[in-house]
Structure 1
Amino acid sequence: MASGERVIDWLAHRGGVAHTAEARARGFSGRAIADAVDAGVRRVRRSWLVSPGAAPQVVAAIAGGGRGSCVTAARRSGLRVPDHEDEVHIAVKPTASRVGDAERLAVHWAVGPVPVAKYATEDPIVNVLFHVARCLPREDALTVWESSLNKELIDRRMLTRIEWGSTHAAALAELASSLSDSGLDTLFLARFSAFGLALRQQVLLDGRRVDFLIGDRLVVQLDGFAHHSSPKDRRRDIEADARLALLGFTVLRFDWKQVVHEWPRVEQTVLTAVAQGLHRAA
């Protein structure tokens, strides 16, 4: 294998992006690097080597003088991220003086809790969550945080021990719960926490877990975007709701569209049920 081809193969195993200093530390000569460039590898900011198949978000981050972070890195990690603008979010050193196109980038200057390698192209998950907490509205940030917990990218016990250096991040570390396995649960919990209701998640009733139990008798079930692809699943839920009703529970079921786009109506329905005393045992 020619020297340039070895560089290209090495780049492919690194996601298609590496700094020239890393290539030299790996033992590649200047001639080998030049051959790789002649074969299609391009230089970004002179010192970075980028293969044609490298992720555009990563390339945009290093072209901007930083590394991928916040919602950009969260999406690339497969986390649930609420809709946001198409900017690439990057983290840079507080002393950085050459930052790329500000109109296409969301630049994060704060320093996350975890030290980052000199030539890292993306932030570690803790720093991603740190920037998400400082960047997004609280409810949206909480959705991303809980997604990281549910995917087991980080442990909740670890979150609460980290010295975040951010009141937003520290508050989310306390609030995030791995029991919320969908973004709808997260949204519902965050919005109703302000009302001081006795609200519990994933309570076992009649052999099945319910999304929320308010007080002793008011059950709230939330159906996600991809919930129940078959009539059989839907019939099973209808049967379960009927059984709970016969056991003395009131069941309120909402789908993702109602929770996301018709929240005032959802809130009014739940609070009206509480006003009627449907959350209390007879």
Structure 2
Amino acid sequence: MEIVQALQQFDGVARIETLRRLGVTAYQLRRARESGLIHSVRRGWVALRGADRMLVAAARRGVVLSCITLAARRGLWVLDSSEPHVAAPPHAGHASVSTGVIHWSRPLFPRHPDSCEDSLENALVLAARCQPHEAALALWESAFKKELVDPVVLGRVPLPPHAREMLEQATPFADAGTESIFRTRLRWLRLPVTPQVWLLGHRVDFLIGERLVVQIDGGHHVDEQRTSDIAHDALLKLHGFHVIRISYSQLMDRWHEVHALIIAAIAQRLHLAA
């Protein structure tokens, strides 16, 4: 097998032992190194020139990308993925990282020795303990929404307590992590807080009770979208709904203000039909 073709099966980073099993010869490996087509990552590992730098770094350090780092690479909603998170088996003396977080853990879903990335299921389990409760729940709900993991399968796995709690609470209905966080913070209300309700031709983020609408604005609420939002807000008010519109910054940094608005609205019974 051609060495490039073999390496591409592993996203450009692989063990020499695996390449040899696929038919790559020692001569091909030597010529590829000499020409600069591949380079050594660490003992027993090579990578294609231009391979994914995060995968190369993981192979070099003897770890796998996991937790919120893997989740972000899969396009899931993550509160903050600026710091890399990796995983390694307990007592793996060869594993190291210069910056970031390393999770020493025995995976529930076996890790293939040729992979530099964890399974998403293992990443979710780690995030359940690593991240704040509401951020972890938003991540799990994002995975369920995108149908990237199977809740039924997870339910049959001996999950640790934090992950079991996530599985029991997560739903597949939130369009964004902000919606998951909002609903989590108001769970104590003992009122219906229903996400993604279709009202008067448009979906609203949340309907509290019968008449209190809460909309959470993201970065896309500008120009034509903003004009459409304003028009729909006016239509809702004409039909007896009360609308509270909040920004991402208010939700994440000034929650006490949002909380006070919602509690005041409920106290005035604005969530009830006249």
TM-based fold match above 0.5: yes
The question of 1:212 aligning with 2:199 is answered: no
1:269 to 261, 268, 272: 261
Distance (Å, rounded) in 1 between the aligned partners of 2:153 and 2:204: 27
Describe the superposition over 1:35-73 as per-residue Cα deviations: whole angstroms up to 9, x where unpaired.
222222222221111122122221221222121111121
Closer, same or farther: CA 157–212 of 1 in aligned 2, 3 Å: farther
Alignment of 1:236-255 (within 5 A): 236-255=228-247
Counterpart residue number, 2:65? 68
Q: Which runs of 5+ in 1 are unaligned?
A: none
Q: Say if 1:222 and 1:253, in contact at 8 Å, map to a contact too.
A: yes
One-letter code aligned to 2:223? S
Q: Say if 1:134 and 1:169, in contact at 8 Å, map to a contact too.
A: yes
Counterpart residue number, 1:281? 273
Counterpart residue number, 1:58? 55
One-letter code aligned to 1:223? D
Counterpart residue number, 2:79? 82
Distance (Å, rounded) in 2 between the aligned partners of 1:110 and 1:202: 37
Q: How far off is 1:188 after superposition?
A: 0.5
Distance (Å, rounded) in 2 between the aligned partners of 1:157 and 1:242: 42
Alignment of 1:134-213 (within 5 A): 134-159=129-154, 161-213=155-207
Q: How far off is 1:173 after superposition?
A: 1.4
2:101 to 106, 110, 122: 106
Tell me the percent identity.
37
SS of the residue 1:280 aligns to: coil
Describe the superposition over 1:83-120 as per-residue Cα deviations: whole angstroms up to 9, x where unpaired.
2443x32221123122223x424211222321222222
Q: Say if 1:179 and 1:201, in contact at 8 Å, map to a contact too.
A: yes
Closer, same or farther: CA 91–162 of 1 in aligned 2, 3 Å: farther
Q: How far off is 1:182 after superposition?
A: 1.1
Q: How far off is 1:257 after superposition?
A: 2.3
Describe the superposition over 1:208-249 as per-residue Cα deviations: whole angstroms up to 9, x where unpaired.
32211111211111122223x433x32322222222222221
Distance (Å, rounded) in 2 between the aligned partners of 1:104 and 1:175: 32
Closer, same or farther: CA 77–163 of 1 in aligned 2, 3 Å: same
Describe the superposition over 1:179-232 as per-residue Cα deviations: whole angstroms up to 9, x where unpaired.
1011211111121113333211122323432211111211111122223x433x
Distance (Å, rounded) in 2 between the aligned partners of 1:18 and 1:65: 12
The question of 1:230 aligning with 2:227 is answered: no
Counterpart residue number, 1:16? 12
Distance (Å, rounded) in 2 between the aligned partners of 1:65 and 1:167: 28
Q: TM-score, normalised by structure 2?
A: 0.91
How many pairs were matched up?
273
Closer, same or farther: CA 247–129 of 1 in aligned 2, 3 Å: same
Q: Say if 1:70 and 1:132, in contact at 8 Å, map to a contact too.
A: yes
Q: TM-score, normalised by structure 1?
A: 0.89
Q: Which runs of 5+ in 2 are unaligned?
A: none
